[in-house]
Structure 1
């Protein structure tokens, strides 16, 4: 496994933190147009898989059958942060869908964002499964099971027909045979899949450019799903988070996962990117992705500016003094350079 320094943080001129990892950008032929480090490294999607895991909902009649709003539907793709607008939509979904909160396999939790969590603690409210950042995904899983006649019990197990369906969907989108997809357990208890980084990038290229998908029903489902992610980006994460800021750009389909995994696809450029920060940091995503976009001469400078605003290059201490800097240290290698 070859990795490269992606970002350095310095304090008083001394290196304090180093974030190493790998990056890959591919076209529809799975050519590595750009890379840093090992593009074949098997990587777990973590929550970057959520749009893929949401596709069975979009392939079914659930949305119209139960009268879900666009905001509610977008939550199936989300790692929601527990803001009031998330909780309101989740409560509404519970009333509409044939799902009971106690059926969700994800554990009870408080919201991820500080303000709603502190408010609930102040009001002495208990943790709920609904507040877990994967709760909408689990609601979608159960709704699909009931719609397709699958058993709800054990929907989180890899041998369950729903999880087998998801394996097939991932295989189609990634061009990786099911037999070569590695399987672990995610933080919320459902299977999590690992494939080569370059194939992860390919899945997001197909999400951004669904015409590359030969299955027409899957193509239509992807179009519907990604249009809603663009229409309601803060439902996917929350304000001032990287997924939301990237999805404001209708040319980009993006989603991150735990432990430093991030994927995005560019429609007009027809490139899919995937990256892995090996120390698991999510904090440096904006720096890395802004640099990727700058290095490929991405035309939407407003998107890059929003990313730079999320993670400025100057490190300030609690008193407001400048104490250090954060900067990317990688250079994308192109196809021509790889073969020269």
Structure 2
């Protein structure tokens, strides 16, 4: 079993009354323009699955191959290719139109279906007696990107298989921007392989996206276009009420943010040429959301008193009667 060399550091505390009742520990890195770690908590070399935080890397071959241009994809498509959306109509209708334009349909997806994360949309489905389809899957935008690339490459229908040309292209891009050979993969919730790397490697990849400029070489142009699409369409990257969307809107400068399952989070800060990667050891989403918010405040990209910042950092916990019982706070030292 691969284990971190250094113990995870306290990143988020859950307070009740006068004590921290629970602590989310984890690992975090901030990487500079050269890809080197400039600040770290825990072990930068711990091996991680970045999960959905790697979607912008998985989307690089979509642009580099010429598939995006051949299909006439715009910034909304690219944002959806990087998204973990909540299955609202703003997401599903765009994805459906995208794949229909390719001559494909919902049955061509290999991501599976689940109920929409958006509460209103889920209730509408239940009231109508309809079942969710693969378009509602939070990864359907990524899979639309896979389908687009697959059509361009002429691959077989099972594009999520690790040996498929689509996934080989994703692995090549992943290893090149992390500057590490991946030690393996696991199968993600959407059935595609998710490649292992170190937290340092993931931070390095995010700094690559932060320093990329459109008009450079093919890969840097692709990275810049994906990053800028995320920044331009925060509502497509996640959805109303979600951390990625709210925090991107709240930042005082352009920032791309992306959550991943099991307590992962990344941030790309192009004006500062910085990349951030966070992994909460116990997989707690609330811990990751608080930690990434605190790091954005630490760097000056987010005001601490912004309502969206307060929602995820120093969030008040109330009980069923509405009484304040505690708060979710960043661990001492994370904010400075």
TM-score (norm 1): 0.89
Q: Is the 8 A contact 1:240 1:310 kept in 2?
A: no
**Corresponding residue for residue 170 of structure 1:** 174
How many pairs does the alignment contain?
A: 329
1:121 has 2:126 as partner: yes
1:31 to partner: Cα distance: 2.8
Q: Is the 8 A contact 2:286 2:312 kept in 1?
A: no
1:201 has 2:203 as partner: yes
Taking the aligned partners of 2:123 and 2:223, their CA distance within structure 1 comes to 36
CA-atom RMSD in angstroms: 2.4
1:310 to partner: Cα distance: 4.2
Q: Say if 1:300 and 1:106 are closer, same or farther in 2 by CA, change over 3 A.
A: closer
Q: Is the 8 A contact 1:284 1:311 kept in 2?
A: no
1:330 to partner: Cα distance: 4.1
Q: Deviations over 1:277-328 (max 9, x none)?
A: 11111123332123223333x1542796532234543211222211112211
**Corresponding residue for residue 287 of structure 2:** 284
Taking the aligned partners of 2:227 and 2:245, their CA distance within structure 1 comes to 13
**Corresponding residue for residue 261 of structure 1:** 264
**Corresponding residue for residue 230 of structure 1:** 231
Q: Is the 8 A contact 2:63 2:69 kept in 1?
A: no
Q: Is the 8 A contact 2:48 2:198 kept in 1?
A: yes
Q: Is the 8 A contact 1:205 1:264 kept in 2?
A: no
**Corresponding residue for residue 241 of structure 2:** 240
Taking the aligned partners of 1:52 and 1:35, their CA distance within structure 2 comes to 22
**Runs of 4+ that moved beyond 6 A:** none
Aligned residue for 1:109, secondary structure, equals: coil
Q: Deviations over 1:145-183 (max 9, x none)?
A: 11122222x311111121111111111111113xx4421
Aligned residue for 1:133, secondary structure, equals: coil
Q: Say if 1:214 and 1:63 are closer, same or farther in 2 by CA, change over 3 A.
A: closer
**Corresponding residue for residue 149 of structure 1:** 154
1:56 has 2:58 as partner: no
TM-score (norm 2): 0.90
Taking the aligned partners of 1:39 and 1:333, their CA distance within structure 2 comes to 19
1:66 to partner: Cα distance: 3.6
Larger deviation, residues 262-271 vs 244-253: 244-253
